[in-house]
Amino acid sequence: MFKITVANQKGGVGKTTSVINLAAALAQMGRRVLIIDTDAQGSIATLLNVKHPDTLYNFLIEGVKFEQCVVNVRPNIDCILSDKKTEIAEMHLVPVMGRERALAERMEGIDNYDVCFVDCAPSLSLLQTNAVIYTRYLILPISMDSLAIAGASHVQETFVLLKKYFHVIPIILGILPTFVDARLSITDQVLSTIQEIWGNTNTIIFPPIRVDTNLAKANRYHKTIFEYAPNSRAAEDYRRVAEILLDFIEKHKETKPGEKTLAKEEKTG
């Protein structure tokens, strides 16, 4: 199972929308996808209009089995949802030895999916650290706003600590430009900055997700973009990103324990 955290310290960058629609695109391509929501706002449950009595809190803190906590939300897509109790989960983890690896330990042996996305709250937190340690790979959505670049940079700053204290080397798999409107001058400025920072690394700069009112409408009606407007430019954009992502996954499937990591991966980001 290929695991990816989707994060940015700034909110409103299309993070959860991207998780849902990339999952939907991959599911349409025949891949089994798991989404883990670590955000106490519970946006995945809200946007997909699903509920489940057992959430991330029950899974992490109460030890409820994975099979009881996971809920099928679309064909080929399962989720572990979050709600307000997720904040309490983080409080419970604080005094626990090895708290940063709680998610990885609970997910050990669960690999009957092709891809797992972990959606994070727009803040540095213990659960975000858990997500990065568990997945290792990250996608950073960046909206056409200089603050979004700063938010992504703050995520990168945590990598130094993760490497120092947990011997984990996170890899920025890709930058996903969102809310891209070619008519605005800020768009060129932000895209240029993205190129300056990540253009000469192994990090993928994904094709942009263009501004499309269909995305907001799809969220309002609790649908993926492929359910609401399958021929829209947003659907086209997410499908194209998913194809590039899937190609990367096929070429960089995680090594088994004891195998050497590709040197190219270690340099990414």
Quote the radius of gyration of the chain (alpha carbons, Å).
17
Q: Looking up tokens 């991959």, which residue turns up?
A: 26
pLDDT for res 130: 94
pLDDT for res 259: 39
What's the average pLDDT block by block, 10 residues per block, for the chain (269 residues)? 93 96 98 97 96 96 97 98 93 88 96 97 88 94 89 75 74 95 93 93 96 97 98 98 97 56 41
Contacts of 142 (CB under 8 A, 6+ apart): 8, 13, 148, 149, 151, 152, 175, 176, 177, 178, 190, 194
Amino acid at position 262, single letter? L
Q: Which domains does the chain have, with CATH numbers?
A: 2-256 (3.40.50.300)
Residue 36's Cα: distance from chain center in Å?
Answer: 9
pLDDT for res 260: 41
Closest to 27 (Cα-Cα) out of 245, 214, 220, 261: 245
pLDDT for res 170: 87
| Residue 15 · residue 151 · CB < 8 Å | no
| Residue 241 · residue 141 · CB < 8 Å | no
pLDDT for res 14: 95
pLDDT for res 254: 56
pLDDT for res 266: 43
